Amino acid sequence: MIRVHPQVSGLLHRGDVYGARAALQAAIELEHAVIPPYLYALYSLVPGRNDAAAAILRSVAAEEMLHLTLAANLLSAVGGRPVLDSPRLLPRYPGPLPGTIDDGLVVGLAPFSLTLIRDTFMRIEQPEHALGFGSPAPAAADALTIGQFYRRIRTTLVALGESAFTGKRHHQLGPAALPGAVAVTGVASACQAIDLIIDQGEGTLTSPLEGTGADVAHYYRLAEIVHGRRLVRNPDTGPDTPAEQRFVYTGDPVPFDQAGVLAAPRDPKQADYPPGSPARLACAAFNRTYVRLLKTLQAALNGSPGELTPAVTVMMSLRQQAAGMLSGSATGGVPAGPSFEWQPDD
């Protein structure tokens, strides 16, 4: 599992709104940093192949975007300004995730594989008390997970009380703008938003489900790919059955065919491609589009919710550009990969 750096979690020990704002900006940057690796792996899957695994990874990536939005809503609600449009925000891959302890987990841009899901993505999503169900990555109970970090933010905001929520309400993105989003206007809605982030990522202490919802939390959803089966309720359970035996990976198949993965390069860099080459030009174009997406999202999260509509169009363009690179159709027949680097418009 990943652990939040004490310098980041320590911001909350100050017990003031300024520390809470800094911690929430760090949460935004952490939520953002996991999205490019998820998207890169997803983009590397051949369309029409490995559909079940692709749907799982796509759903996790979409909810990470929701978590980023919720963290931004929380920051706006306490008078902060969410920042996405900054070269400092973009992490360098491969490397540790921003705001975390470098405990040996290296996160990079890599094509889809069962090893990537098990050894990297599941470690990112690993709860503080992972339920077994045969999962390959048991949790360490003494680590400060993302879930624990959010719980500390929750405790801080509750202690600060209603007077801390001084942000402009029209900066909030609610469910009308983004399905599942929570407009944060006070302590109660802040707790609702934080609980949603935790439950979707980790489940609960006694269930792999997202709180009262029917969906499986990220960690267990990714484990479905590794096990090759959906996680379902164990029909043989009784009232005294331990929590770790109430679900089993015996549901519908989640088949995986390695032949359905494109030959994507690992950890590409724009500078790695020869100047003027189709790959260099395509990578630069992708990066410009990605930076444009960050700018559009920042505007949407800071009082211009109408910018979400063009953001969707930009996201579709990103996928099309990545497909052209990874298949080689846009790079002279040689597969290349997008690098998610800062590349503003000329």
**Mean pLDDT score, 304-319:** 91
Backbone angles phi, psi at 317, to 5 degrees: -65, -40
E strand or H helix at 322, and its extent? helix 308-327
Neighbours of 346 (CB within 10 A): 5
Mean pLDDT, all residues of the chain: 90
Backbone angles phi, psi at 267, to 5 degrees: 50, 55
Write out pLDDT tens, residues 168-210: 999 999 999 899 999 999 999 999 999 999 888 877 666 787 6
On whether both 216 and 322 belong to a single domain, the answer is: no
What are the structure tokens assigned to 257, written together? 């065919």
Q: What angle do CA 57, 242, 114 make, to 5 degrees?
A: 25
Q: How far is CA 241 from CA 105, 231, 238, 329, in A?
A: 34, 17, 5, 54
User: Which residue matches tokens 């040689």?
Assistant: 334
pLDDT confidence tier of residue 75, bands split at 50, 70 and 90: very high
On whether both 76 and 221 belong to a single domain, the answer is: yes
On whether both 306 and 261 belong to a single domain, the answer is: no
CA distance 105 to 225: 20
On whether both 287 and 208 belong to a single domain, the answer is: no
Single-letter code of the amino acid located at 20? A
What's the CA dihedral at 65, 67, 70, 76 to 10 degrees? Answer: -80
Write out pLDDT tens, residues 92-138: 999 999 988 767 789 999 999 999 999 999 999 888 766 766 544 44
What are the structure tokens assigned to 296, written together? 């559009």
CA distance 146 to 206: 18
CA distance 43 to 319: 7
Query: Can you say how many angstroms the Cα of residue 72 is from the centroid of all Cα atoms in its chain?
Result: 14
Domain boundary among the residues 219, 244, 267 is at 267
CA distance 21 to 76: 9
On whether both 202 and 299 belong to a single domain, the answer is: no
At 108, which CATH number? 1.20.1260.10
On whether both 227 and 334 belong to a single domain, the answer is: no
Q: How far is CA 147 from CA 48, 205, 303, in A?
A: 34, 11, 28
Q: What is the pLDDT of residue 156?
A: 95
Up-side HSE of residue 342: CA atoms within 13 Å toward CB?
10
Q: Which of 8-12, 187-191, 240-244, 320-324 has the lowest mean pLDDT?
A: 240-244
Tally of domains within the chain: 2
Structural domain includes residue 1: no
State the sign of the Cα–Cα–Cα–Cα dihedral 221, 248, 139, 123: negative
Q: How far is CA 113 from CA 53, 196, 229, 250, in A?
A: 10, 28, 16, 21
Structural domain includes residue 226: yes
On whether both 44 and 81 belong to a single domain, the answer is: yes
pTM, to two decimals: 0.92
On whether both 47 and 143 belong to a single domain, the answer is: yes
Domain boundary among the residues 212, 239, 267 is at 267
Write out pLDDT tens, residues 245-282: 889 999 999 999 999 999 999 999 999 999 999 999 99
On whether both 260 and 285 belong to a single domain, the answer is: no
pLDDT confidence tier of residue 144, bands split at 50, 70 and 90: low
Q: How far is CA 260 from CA 69, 124, 248, in A?
A: 32, 25, 27
CA distance 245 to 132: 8
- Asked if 57 and 225 touch (Cβ cutoff 8 Å), the reply is yes
On whether both 257 and 130 belong to a single domain, the answer is: yes
Closest by alpha carbon to 327, among 258, 261, 257? Answer: 261
Domain of 305 in residue numbering reads as 269-346
Q: What is the pLDDT of residue 243?
A: 77
The residues, any chain, with a CB within 8 Å of residue 50's CB and separated by 6 or more, are: 112, 255, 256, 257, 260, 261
